[in-house]
Amino acid sequence: MRSDFQLYGKALKMIRLSKNLKAVEVAKNLNVTKQYISNCETGRRKLSATKTKQFLELVGISEEQAKAFVQIIEN
């Protein structure tokens, strides 16, 4: 099943930091620039659904876990 889930903003940064990853490490693994990751973390951009999937694989969490985390921090 195809997912259109996109991760961005505070949730993206908090997940990255919880895994002790630097933005440059994430950028390298997703084949994007550090600036792109920074823009996603500040809400100026969103990771595409494909990049979100790659990020979740990198940090080892499921889409369902990420969605639950987003709901927790947004409420």
In a domain, 3, yes or no: no
Q: Residue 59: what are its φ and ψ, rounded to 5°?
A: -90, -5
CATH number at residue 65: 1.10.260.40
User: What is the predicted pLDDT for the residue at 2?
Assistant: 55
Tens-digit pLDDT profile for residues 26-42: 999 999 999 999 999 99
Rounded Cα distance, 2 and 72, in Å? 24
Domain count, the chain: 1
Would the pTM count as exceeding 0.75? Answer: yes
Q: Name which of 70, 51, 73 is nearest 3 in CA terms.
A: 51
For residue 69, count other CB atoms closer than 10 A to its CB. 16
